[in-house]
Structure 1
Amino acid sequence: MNSLVSIIIPCYNGQASLNSCLKSIKGSIKNLPINYSAEIIVINDGSTDLTQKILQKEKNIRVIVHNKNLGLSSARNTGIKHSKGNFLVFLDCDIDVKENWLPNMLDFFNQNNDIVGVTGNLKPLAKKHLSRLEKYLFSNYRGSKKAGITHNLKYKWFVFSNTIIKKEVIGTAGPFDKSLKKYGGEDIELSIRISKKFPNGMRQNNNALSYHHVNKSFEDYLQNVYDYGKYNFIKIIKKHPIHKKSLEYRLVSSFYTPFLFNSLTLYIAKIFLKFSKHPLLTKFFLMDSFIKGIKKSSLK
């Protein structure tokens, strides 16, 4: 019996990378085993750029348009609703995959019946100089790389930017939380629910390579992290209070926080910022924005 893979690509103002993303996933589909087929579903989540014009030129993909921007959770849920496959791929429109990415991801499910979801190995696009933000995003100071984990992923390392899961997982754990409309956390929140139902089910496949078009500035990302702290983060820890500690809420309540993050340390860090792109320095500023966002939240 053939298996169908539904590839769900949410897209908001993705004109800079959408063509490249679609070309790469179509190339990976060509390498699927003969007992697999695939459908591509793109959700235009209220884009105001040339995203829709790009999609109108594409063949053999399903395009679903949101008249306004509803957020990543709602866009992915729309894709799930219209999917027909027994496997769901979630791929952001600013990511390219290697030609063997999809076969490699599917192969993991043959290794262990407990596996219900696999996330790929995300790399920066090949270029001579990485930006300050890219040096941090792809460093060993964040995500599963920081923890040295390559199997039995904890919920907070399982992200949905280049990921495949069995569709039955959504039926059991539920879809993405559409109340998380601001930046960040929708991956973590769903992964918490998946880990409760399938405690040994999430993996990372380091051989399934994908490449990220980082189309935002360091300043934009600081604002994203601030918004995450102010909005979605507080909602998540209220919904899952048992995970409050592991989700780093202690950064706000810790005795040491005022000594580490204050006007003086921020002033000194800004001086070093002029001369260094070290990931730990970048992380300091991101943590500072995150903490400020939490403190400003009206949801506490």
Structure 2
Amino acid sequence: MFLSVVIPVRNGEKYIGKLLDELIEQTYKNYEIIVVNDGSNDNTSNILKKYSSVKVYHNDRSMGANFSRNLGFNKSKGEIIVFTDVDCSVERDWLEKIVSIFMEKDVDAVAGQIFAENRDRFLARFLESSILTPAPKYRKDIILSEDFKPRIFIATANFAVKRETLLNLNGFDPIFKHYGSDDMDFAYRLLRSGGKIYCSSKIKVYHHHRTSLLKILKRYYEYGKGFTIFKRKHPESIFSILTTIFTSLLYIFTALIPVSLFINLGNIYLNSFIYFLASLPFLTPLLYHFYFLIKKRNLERILYIPLDILVIYFTAIGILVSFIQGEGK
């Protein structure tokens, strides 16, 4: 079984060499590596010249990760197309594990877990444990069909799909730009077409999570915009339904905050109920992290609570702004 590993990269001088070294040293040998340089203006191009065995294609200007993934796929020869990102690190038997699943299971795609490579950084550990973590985890192997399951999602940083499936679905949709949810969109279209995705707890990739709070909040704002585009495309998906319910309640409860603070409704029970509803956006991450604080005896979880509140609100703002702007229509 011949594989094509496709990596979109923009300004990846810090990580691209390490990732390519890891890919070249894979235990599975029947594969090609394709890098699409998406208009990088750092030293990425010069680093790529050192790897003669790697097929490199260049975008004259940045066209986005989805355009680059599609370009890499169109230039590939593999029966299976494997995707990861430049800021990831892979295990030596990564490809071997992917192949074994395709050989043993009747599935169209394989998704794996993502862990923080830089766990020595506080904000990376937070993202690993956030209530809205961008890094999928699977406690056990599961096969998705028809639709997603709650809190089960996939990411292209650790994703492999059959060539014929990519062809039938016309690849990734560039309408998502750089917002995210493009991987969820592709996965959902695959599931709705009758395909199956094997989510493996054994296939792991390690990602360099963001370590700047401003960059994290900006990214979650962008995630929110991606969620809106996904919901407009696929309103019937369980992911869209849960996102709509969550954000609608968040907006309502947030609107009740000034009511609870400045308006006396004349009834102690009604006032208390309003206070309770207004506090739910804060209680949810508080209870979530206290549960894991007790379960794992990790006091650092206390510090994650205000960060998750910020993350939740920046995501909700992104959803609202994208909805008002009409993105994805």
One fold, TM greater than 0.5? yes
Contact residue 135 and residue 277 of structure 1 kept, 8 A: no
Q: Structure 1 residues 56, 144: CA separation in 2 closer, same or farther (over 3 Å shift)? A: closer
- Whether 1:95 aligns to 2:85 is no
Flag the structure with higher helix content.
Answer: 2
1:136 pairs with 2:126: yes
* TM-score, normalised relative to structure 2: 0.76
Which residue of structure 1 aligns with residue 233 of structure 2? 239
Partner of 1:181: 177
Does residue 121 (structure 1) correspond to residue 113 (structure 2)? The answer is: yes
Q: Deviations over 1:130-182 (max 9, x none)?
A: 322x223322744654x755312464612111221111111222210012213
What secondary structure, in the 3-state scheme, does the structure 2 residue paired with 1:241 have? Answer: coil
Give the CA RMSD over aligned residues.
2.9
Matched with 2:326 is 299
Instruction: Give the number of equivalent residue pairs.
Output: 281
Check conservation: 2:5, 2:33, Cα contact below 8 A.
yes
Residue identity matched to 1:258: A
The answer to whether 1:151 aligns with 2:151 is no
Between the two structures, name the one with larger relative contact order (CA 8 Å, sep ≥ 6). 1
CA gap 1:236/1:135 in 2 versus in 1, 3 angstroms: same
* Structure 1 Cα separation of the partners of residues 122 and 215 of structure 2: 13
Alignment of 1:1-300 (within 5 A): 3-28=1-26, 31-32=27-28, 37-113=30-106, 115-125=107-117, 129-132=120-123, 134-139=124-129, 141=131, 142=133, 144-145=136-137, 148=139, 150-153=141-144, 155=148, 157-199=153-195, 201-230=196-225, 232-243=226-237, 245-246=240-241, 248-254=243-249, 255-259=252-256, 278-297=303-322, 298-299=325-326
Change in 2 beyond 3 A, CA 1:279/1:165: farther
Gap change, CA 1:192 and 1:253, over 3 Å in 2: same
**Alpha-carbon separation, structure 1, partners of 2:230 and 2:258:** 24
Q: Residue type of the partner of 1:227?
A: E
Percent of aligned positions with the same letter in both sequences?
25
Query: How much has 1:213 moved relative to structure 2?
Result: 1.9
Unmatched runs of 5 consecutive residues or more in structure 1: none
Q: CA offsets per residue over residues 210-265 of structure 1, 9 Å max, x none?
A: 211225522102111212323x3322211112126435122332233434799998
Q: What is the CA–CA distance in structure 1 between the aligned matches of 2:257 and 2:200, rounded to whole Å?
A: 36
Larger radius of gyration: 2
SS class of match (2:159): strand
Check the 8 A contact 1:21/1:93 in 2, yes or no: yes
Give the match's secondary structure for 2:156: coil
Structure 1 residues 60-69 or 242-251, which shifts more? 242-251
> What CA distance in whole angstroms lies between the structure 2 residues aligned with 1:261 and 1:53?
56
AA in 2 matched with 1:111: E
Normalising by the residue count of structure 1, what TM-score does the alignment of the two structures yield?
A: 0.83
Distance 1:218 1:256, change over 3 A: same
What amino acid does structure 1 have at the position aligned with 2:125?
K
2:253 maps to a residue whose letter is Y
The amino acid of 1:223's aligned partner reads K
SS across alignment from 2:174: coil
Between stretches 38-47 and 136-145, larger displacement belongs to 136-145
